[in-house]
Amino acid sequence: MRSFKNILVTGGAGFIGSHVVRRLTNKYPETNIVNLDLLTYAGNLENISDIEHSENYAFVKGNICDRDLLINLFKKHNFDAVVHLAAESHVDRSIANPGAFLETNILGTAALLEVAKAHWIHENGAFKNAETGSTNHNLKNVFYHISTDEVYGSLGEEGLFSETTSYDPRSPYSASKASSDHIARAYHHTYGMPIVISNCSNNYGANQFPEKLIPLMIKNICDQKSLPVYGQGLNVRDWLYVEDHANAIDLILHQGASGSTYNIGGLNEWSNIDLVKYLIQVVDEKLQRPKGSSDGLITFVKDRAGHDHRYAIDASKIERELGWKPSETFEVGLEKTVTWYLENSEWLNKVVSGEYEKYYEQHYGK
């Protein structure tokens, strides 16, 4: 099992990143955690306000494409590990503006890899013997690149994505993530750089920006607004509770084999329409409305361009090698999620209005 003195987490103010940063900060008090986040629309420091004064935690606002910033951060903190979560991540936004996804997800990942490689080689020597090609397996560094199951494309009615499934991305978002996966692997094979990669299914839980399906539907059910569902709602997704994902990331970071890929899934497939109808029942009941009374809000809209039919993850490798499997049932996890959004309506309204930017100004200046 690896141990680290200084970890850089990119995108740690976002949905998944905030849960990872909190877990690492609280679980490893002897490890310094630096959170680098540009605070675009989906990044919100209120997500991690409970740890902002922790002695082993620091926040830096910045762009992963800024190589000078990255070089200075590595010099200052001498990171021995990187957990790379920063990414543009919404398919609809990638269709409307693919350039931003190519820049952040591909060029940003490449910049981070190159700076980490140069720093670690300077500090510790080459990862690979140039003459023999043998890799130095005693290095304590690790670059952990976190990706998505969308790189695999679309499944039919049967089958699961495994770590050996061929890539077949269908959107600018998934294509940009597939490219960044390949670049990370290339740094491992070419330079011997210690890389681990994970590809996860759809996450849900607290602090998710309400453009994604579950928080959007919860908010609209509460507000009695239209519940837009693509096509006939028959697209199927595998849902993973974000705390289970953070646990898996922790395990892979500390125990995952260098050069390996791990698929992380919730073993929990739902069609979009069935999920929306179930959410209606849960939210209606919590708001003391007749269960199902919001069904009439469902509105079928034109399907997304290139909409993948089904995603489903085979997570047997991470269970077999690292002992991980999801601990939260979907029913309990979804109820916790709904409860969180209902109890944090102020957070939700701030995020929607953009007022969370004031939080950064108040705590860190403009």
Segments making up each domain of the chain, as ranges? 6-207+238-269+309-328
Bridge partner list, 142: 81
User: Hey, how many other C-beta atoms are within 10 angstroms of the C-beta on 15?
Assistant: 23
What confidence tier does 16 reach under pLDDT thresholds 50, 70, 90? very high
DSSP string covering 256-320: PPTT-EEEE--S-EEEHHHHHHHHHHHHHHHTTSPTTTTGGGEEEEPPPTT---B--B--HHHHH
Q: Which one has a higher pLDDT value, 222 or 307?
A: 222
Q: What is the mean pLDDT of residues 94-121?
A: 95
What confidence tier does 364 reach under pLDDT thresholds 50, 70, 90? very low
State what percent of residues in the chain have pLDDT above 70: 95
pLDDT for the residue 156:
85
What confidence tier does 269 reach under pLDDT thresholds 50, 70, 90? very high
| 176-214: pLDDT as tens digits | 999 999 999 999 999 999 999 999 999 999 999 887 889
* CATH class belonging to 6-207+238-269+309-328: alpha beta
> For residues 161 and 314, is the Cβ–Cβ distance under 8 A?
yes
Q: Determine how β-strand 57-61 pairs with β-strand 298-301.
A: unpaired
257 pLDDT more than 70:
yes
Going by C-beta distance under 8 Å and a sequence separation of 6 or more, which residues neighbour residue 226?
Answer: 220, 297, 299
Number of H helices, E strands in the chain: 13, 12
- Cα separation, 21 vs 220, in Å, equals 29
Q: What is the mean pLDDT of residues 314-334?
A: 96
- Cα separation, 44 vs 135, in Å, equals 40
130 pLDDT more than 80:
no
Phi-psi label, residue 117: left if phi above 0, alpha if psi -120 to 50, beta otherwise: alpha
Residues serving a catalytic function are 149-150, 173
Q: Determine how β-strand 57-61 pairs with β-strand 81-84.
A: unpaired
pLDDT for the residue 359:
46
pLDDT for the residue 365:
52
| pTM to 2 decimal places | 0.93
